[in-house]
Structure 1
Amino acid sequence: MRLRTLMAALTATLLALAASSAFAQNDPLAGDAATTERSTIIVGSADFPESQILATIYAKALAAKGVKVEIHPNIGSREVYFPALKDGSIDLIPEYGGAVLRYLDKNSTQNSTDDVLAALKTALPRGVQILSASSAQDTNTVTVTQANAEKYGLKSIGDLKAHAKDWVLGGPPEWKVRPDGVPGFEKNYGVKFKSYKTLDVCGPLVLSALINGQIQVGCGFSTDPALKSHKLVTLADPLNQFPSQNILPLISSAKVTKDITAALDAVSAALTTDDLIDMNARINAHDSYDAIAGDWLKAHKLN
């Protein structure tokens, strides 16, 4: 009986270890402790393609400077990867200034790039810091067709004031009440639209409505390839109605060195919003992250 009991316990232990091993293989935060050195930079990404391509660029830029790197892509939402950054499961991840500030401080009101970056330095927890931000942004935009932009001389959101009374604005349901939606257009720019058409979150429904003339103004994203492929124009937001979303490296302070800072600062200095539009178009065409990142680094002499 004792032998049976011992064998049963041993079998249960082996099964538990096997299950744990299988989970680790599928866990984007799991690393091989035997091969991951303390000097290795573990680069993570959120669970959407643009974050993954940015993480790949960071990793390849660091590797080109002789830094040992591992990539843990597709971790999940900010609620998952931010604690991972704090506990050391990852060391570096691409972030968006305004979004991470709102995550850390729900009551923050800073929208301009300078204000957001200054507030971030105060809001970040101990042991985590940001390096230089890029000019590239993936933020909400106000979008019109190129034909209307040229016909009516539209360059800024404020230019809509003379025409909005005859035009329809389209976007997600929350734009009807949020400060960066209809109330913001009226308060910040004095722009009052004829009506509001509830569509999707700056996606294909808004795009189709713009192209077909069902709406004249729609919400968009600044790195959407549709801006180029469908000849759309993003209107400038000089009063910062939308929070700035400059892309920047968020990194564990313990892993910051002169060489790592120099490599990532060089990426930030070169990265533009237009670059992201082009890279997102390649992602949509099913090009690999490695190829896209490698081509971008080569074009900017960073590999």
Structure 2
Amino acid sequence: MTTRLLRTVTAACLLLGAAACSSSGSGNPLDSSANSSGSSGGGGRTVVVGSANFPENVLLASIYSQALKAKGVKVEEKFNIGSREVLYGQLKNGSLTVLPEYNGALLGYLDAKNTATGTAAVNAALQQVLPNTLGILDSAAAEDKDSLNVTQETADKYQLKSIADLAGKAGEFTIGGPPEFKSRREQQFKDVYGLTFKEWKPTGDTTANALKDGSVQIGNVFTTDPKIIQFKLVSLTDPKNLFSSQNVTPLVNKAGLDATATGALNAVSAKLDTPGLTAMMKRVSVDKEDPSTVAKDWLKSNGLG
């Protein structure tokens, strides 16, 4: 992601996200030797679900936890732990069994030089660098990633649906984003899409507001930012994968899961998409609802709770 190692977002951007692939980028299947039959994760052992210390990750962890409980799996919750550096170590030593991850950010952490971008490619690369004790399950369509956004008015006026539609028009627009957005992305927009913008304006955490008030016409807003819904922004698709995939993907300690637990987690991935996650984040970050309540409602509405 543009501003994160783990992930640093504003409403959804702190530390530690297939639309095009559904679950086609699913992680390595858990070794049969690490799976035990039975109704409870890890042959009756408790599955420990952890999370990073920001609202979206807590919400995702609560969804995973409650989905497991609904299948009779014994679960312990350890939420708001901290950064990826801490969490990854706890997965490795078995203190945690399941962690909501973002596949692109995880790959960047484990192999910073890897250039994979699409969901399937990112997950294939992860399978090569993860230790044998860890695995990734099916990736959800939901992503928390960089995206270019415009107002509905701008989208209608210029017939914009994808970043590619900016060809021949980018020179009319001021683009906003974090302070480092220009240095990290300007050449990529030229190389990948042939785009040169009129002006780059650092807007930091207020990019969505800058779009709303017209001080920028295009803005870098993370895909699960509730302001996309609040301000009715249009997120432009990225057909050439300039922004790496950041699919919500369970990272697991394989010895702690059985087929029942794995199935419950994959069932979540099959239903979870970016609009749904963004809507839930609005309830958590804007409406200040309890993440566990929001998670419960989502699971029930999707037949998983």
- Higher helix content, 1 or 2: 1
Distance, in Å, in 1 between the alignment partners of 2:304 and 2:120 is 27
Per the alignment, residue 154 of structure 2 pairs with 148
Give the total of aligned pairs.
262
Give 3-state SS (helix, strand or coil) of 2:80's partner: coil
Per the alignment, residue 121 of structure 1 pairs with 127
Of 205-214 and 69-78, more deviation after overlay is shown by 205-214
Per the alignment, residue 16 of structure 2 pairs with none
The 5 A counterparts of 1:204-215 are 205-215=206-216
- Partner residue of 2:72 out of 66, 70, 74: 66
Q: CA RMSD for the aligned pairs?
A: 1.2
Distance, in Å, in 1 between the alignment partners of 2:80 and 2:227 is 24
Contact map agreement 2:144 2:274 (CA 8 A) in 1: yes
TM-score (norm 2): 0.84
Could you say if the C-alpha distance between residues 38 and 82 of structure 1 is closer, same or farther in structure 2, counting changes exceeding 3 Å?
A: farther
Per the alignment, residue 253 of structure 1 pairs with 254
Structure 2: segments with no counterpart, 5+ residues: 1-42
The 5 A counterparts of 1:142-221 are 142-178=148-184, 181-200=185-204, 203=205, 205-221=206-222
Give the superposition deviation at 1:38.
6.9
Give the letter aligned to residue 212 of structure 1: D
Per the alignment, residue 278 of structure 2 pairs with 277
Distance, in Å, in 2 between the alignment partners of 1:275 and 1:123 is 30
Deviations 1:70-98, CA, capped at 9 Å, x for gaps: 10000111011000110111111010010
Deviations 1:228-263, CA, capped at 9 Å, x for gaps: 110111001010000101111111010121101111
Per the alignment, residue 141 of structure 2 pairs with 135
Give the letter aligned to residue 302 of structure 1: L
Q: Percent identity?
A: 46
Give 3-state SS (helix, strand or coil) of 1:71's partner: strand
Distance, in Å, in 1 between the alignment partners of 2:82 and 2:44 is 24
Q: Stretches of 4+ moved more than 2 A in 1?
A: none
Per the alignment, residue 243 of structure 2 pairs with 242
Per the alignment, residue 19 of structure 2 pairs with none
Deviations 1:245-302, CA, capped at 9 Å, x for gaps: 1111111010121101111110100111111111101102111122111111100111
Give 3-state SS (helix, strand or coil) of 2:294's partner: helix
Structure possessing the higher relative contact order (Cα contacts under 8 Å, 6 or more residues apart): 2
Deviations 1:93-150, CA, capped at 9 Å, x for gaps: 0100100000000111001111101101111122000111111111100011111001
Give 3-state SS (helix, strand or coil) of 2:155's partner: helix
Distance, in Å, in 2 between the alignment partners of 1:76 and 1:127 is 22
Contact map agreement 2:91 2:252 (CA 8 A) in 1: yes
Give the letter aligned to residue 82 of structure 2: G
Contact map agreement 2:208 2:228 (CA 8 A) in 1: no
Give 3-state SS (helix, strand or coil) of 2:244's partner: coil
Distance, in Å, in 2 between the alignment partners of 1:143 and 1:61 is 33
